[in-house]
Amino acid sequence: MEILKTPAALKAALEIFKGSVGFVPTMGALHIGHKALIETARSANDAVVVSIFVNPTQFLEGEDLNAYPRRKEADEKICELAGVDYLFYPDVADMYGRDEVSLSAPDVRGYILEGTSRPGHFSGVLTVVNKLLNIVNPDRAYFGKKDAQQLMLIETMVSNLFMNVEIVPCETVRDDDGLALSSRNVYLSAQERSEALKIPRALKRATKLVMQGELETGRLQTEMLAVLEPLEVEYAVIVNRAFAPVEYVEIGHTIILVEAVVGTTRLLDNIWI
Ligand code: AMP
């Protein structure tokens, strides 16, 4: 595995590589969810590039940018063992200059749901993903369905800007107890972690009701909110794949999303049905 720090060094290494390239962008503190993305990329490409970059422009004032877990050595080992060919580890100064051209998230879909509680977050995400895709120029790039709104906005950007990359959505990996894996789970105390399990339980409850024939989203939402009690719920909503709210679930076209704050940690989860 080659570890490269600057965009120029990674570009130079990839320029002489002739096969297909799969790319997995991350913010590090890698877990089995990231590993699953890497393995999916490994199975479909001649080379795999992973980036580890805690992107400052997607953190709002007062968020956990400085506290975000950083695990350089462990991450390197995970990448090495997962068969990564190129690990890209840039510093902020390698990625951003002064007085830059900016990229904005769409006015509506970038500012609903997670974009309501984190205005501007998705502009930062799209900016860095655009930069990373331009550096790596991969055939395919892999993103988790766990961050469903992020995935939808990246697909929108790739389509709007006519970018030449296939975006591959990957299933959410969960711990044995059902909690979706996230680098931010390390912030949870044992007590908070058990409270957090209400999130996957609420999604499971809604899914079960759908399977039993309850398709009315208002009723499903009420049931989810009851399971989530007494968590601070940012949203528990049911949308179609374009992220518009729907009155009735249409199986194969619906996403149920929950965001809740447990202690001081904001947790996201969803189920695609
Ligand atoms: P992050 O390092 O949190 O920015 O995540 C990097 C990528 O891993 C994103 O595409 C995430 O959606 C994806 N990811 C994070 N957690 C999971 C998970 N539990 N299962 C699958 N993919 C995940």
94: confidence class by pLDDT, cuts 50, 70, 90: very high
Instruction: Measure the CA–CA gap between 216 and 196, rounded to whole angstroms.
Output: 26
13 lines ligand 1 (CB under 6 A): no
Instruction: Measure the CA–CA gap between 211 and 229, rounded to whole angstroms.
Output: 23
103: confidence class by pLDDT, cuts 50, 70, 90: very high
CA 150 / ligand 1 centre spacing (Å): 10
Cis peptide before 230 (omega within 30 of 0): yes
For residues 129 and 25, state if they share a domain. Answer: yes
Average pLDDT over residues 135-139: 98
Structural domain includes residue 175: no
State the closest ligand 1 atom to the C-alpha of 147, by its place in the atom list counted from 1: 12
123: confidence class by pLDDT, cuts 50, 70, 90: very high
34 lines ligand 1 (CB under 6 A): yes
State the closest ligand 1 atom to the C-alpha of 142, by its place in the atom list counted from 1: 10
106: confidence class by pLDDT, cuts 50, 70, 90: very high
For residues 146 and 200, state if they share a domain. Answer: no
pLDDT of residue 30: 98
Range of the domain at 157: 2-170
| Structural domain ending residue among the three candidates 142, 170, 198 | 170
156: confidence class by pLDDT, cuts 50, 70, 90: very high
CA 33 / ligand 1 centre spacing (Å): 6
How close are the terminal C-alpha atoms of the chain, in Å? Answer: 38
Is there a catalytic annotation at residue 34? yes
* pLDDT, the chain, mean: 97
Which candidate, 78, 69, 95, 97, places its Cα nearest to that of 24?
A: 78
From its phi and psi, is residue 29 left (phi > 0), alpha (psi between -120 and 50) or beta? left
pLDDT of residue 53: 98
What CATH number does the domain containing 14 carry? 3.40.50.620
For residues 55 and 99, state if they share a domain. Answer: yes
28: confidence class by pLDDT, cuts 50, 70, 90: very high
| Structural domain ending residue among the three candidates 102, 137, 170 | 170
Alpha helices by DSSP H, the chain: 7-15, 32-44, 72-81, 92-95, 114-117, 121-136, 148-160, 190-196, 198-211, 217-228
State the closest ligand 1 atom to the C-alpha of 174, by its place in the atom list counted from 1: 19
Which candidate, 234, 241, 240, 26, places its Cα nearest to that of 152?
A: 241
Digit-coded pLDDT (tens) for 168-206: 999 999 999 999 999 999 999 999 999 999 999 999 999
Average pLDDT over residues 149-153: 98
For residues 193 and 107, state if they share a domain. Answer: no
Question: Which protein residue has the closest C-alpha to ligand 1 atom 17?
Answer: 33
Instruction: Measure the CA–CA gap between 198 and 204, rounded to whole angstroms.
Output: 10
pLDDT of residue 248: 98
Instruction: Measure the CA–CA gap between 115 and 261, rounded to whole angstroms.
Output: 15
146 lines ligand 1 (CB under 6 A): yes
CA 37 / ligand 1 centre spacing (Å): 8
pLDDT of residue 83: 98
Give me the catalytic one of 31, 34, 121, 253: 34
pLDDT of residue 217: 98
CA 144 / ligand 1 centre spacing (Å): 5
Q: In the chain, pLDDT over 70 holds for what percent of residues?
A: 100
For residues 140 and 245, state if they share a domain. Answer: no
For residues 103 and 211, state if they share a domain. Answer: no
20: confidence class by pLDDT, cuts 50, 70, 90: very high
Digit-coded pLDDT (tens) for 43-68: 999 999 999 999 999 999 999 999 99
Q: Is the dihedral of CA 25, 61, 181, 254 positive or negative?
A: negative
Average pLDDT over residues 231-254: 97
265 lines ligand 1 (CB under 6 A): no
For residues 56 and 149, state if they share a domain. Answer: yes
| Structural domain ending residue among the three candidates 170, 194, 228 | 170
Average pLDDT over residues 99-126: 96
Our count of domains for the chain comes to: 2
